[in-house]
Amino acid sequence: MKLKYYYLSFLLPLSAFLIFAAFTNKKNDDFHSGNEEVIKFSHKLHAELTDCKTCHSAVVNSISLTDRLYPNHDNCK
């Protein structure tokens, strides 16, 4: 019987904390994933001149979604 109270005294606060944390976690909608404010670049203008692989050549060897796949300075010449 004591074991039941130990489990209850552990699981009830844990459950309450998880429920509280799940509903009070606010999302940050102001986060910008790119650098549109720093670099003014339009894919629409450049898409007609070359294909994507020319600038984003690192995509072929990438194994992770978090890899930096932006073109380097040599690709832009």
Is pLDDT of 77 > 80? no
**Nearest alpha-carbon partner for 55 in 67, 37, 36, 73:** 73
pLDDT reported for residue 50: 81
Residue 65, CA distances (Å) to 15, 53, 69 in order:
33, 17, 9
Q: Against a cut of 0.75, is the pTM above it?
A: no
What's phi and psi for 51, nearest 5 deg? -90, 170
Measured distance CA(44)–CA(48) in Å, rounded: 7
Please give the biggest Cα pair distance in the chain: 76
The pLDDT tens digits of the residues spanning 7-65 come to 999 999 999 999 998 888 766 555 555 666 666 777 787 778 888 888 888 888 888 88
Predicted pLDDT at 51: 83
Tokens of residue 14, six digits? 């844990």
